[in-house]
Amino acid sequence: MIIELSSIQIQTLREELREQLRRRETQLDSLKSSADSGNGADMGWQDLMAAIAAADRAINETQQALDRLDDGSYGRCAHCEAGIPYERLKIRPLSRYCITCQRRHEAA
């Protein structure tokens, strides 16, 4: 099935991804500030480091999605190259797989 995203859909998704990136960068800055100031003791050092690593991964995933938008590969399954429906991308803008391939990936 051929699924093409409209320019309006692409712009909507780009704006959502940019907003996610901004929020995640703010979150990472806050976590790093807590670590630097020693205020992370309340959270527990290991928990704080895990939260920083998770925020960093989320930023990388979001930036990769924005890069895919720029190079035209966004909205295509990374495995089978089928189009990913807009409805799925709207709910999960970081999706790299169509539903069929995602299920296979999770079952493996």
Burial level of 64, CB count in 10 A (0-12/13-18/19+)? middle
For the chain, which residues make up each domain, given as ranges? 7-107
- Whether the per-residue pLDDT at 93 is higher than 60: the answer is yes
| CATH 3.30.720.200, domain 7-107, yes or no | no
Give the model's pLDDT for residue 38: 66
> Over the stretch 3-58, which tens digit does the pLDDT of each residue have?
789 999 999 999 999 999 999 999 999 999 887 776 655 568 888 899 999 999 99
Q: pLDDT tens-digit profile of 66-88?
A: 999 999 999 999 999 999 999 99
What local confidence, expressed as pLDDT, does residue 37 receive? Answer: 74
Beta bridge partners of 6: none
**CA-closest candidate to residue 69, choices 22, 21, 3, 17:** 17
> What does pTM read for this prediction?
0.84
Residue 45, pLDDT score: 80
Distances (CA, A) of 31 to 24, 47, 70, 71, 105: 10, 11, 29, 31, 32
pLDDT value for 43? 62
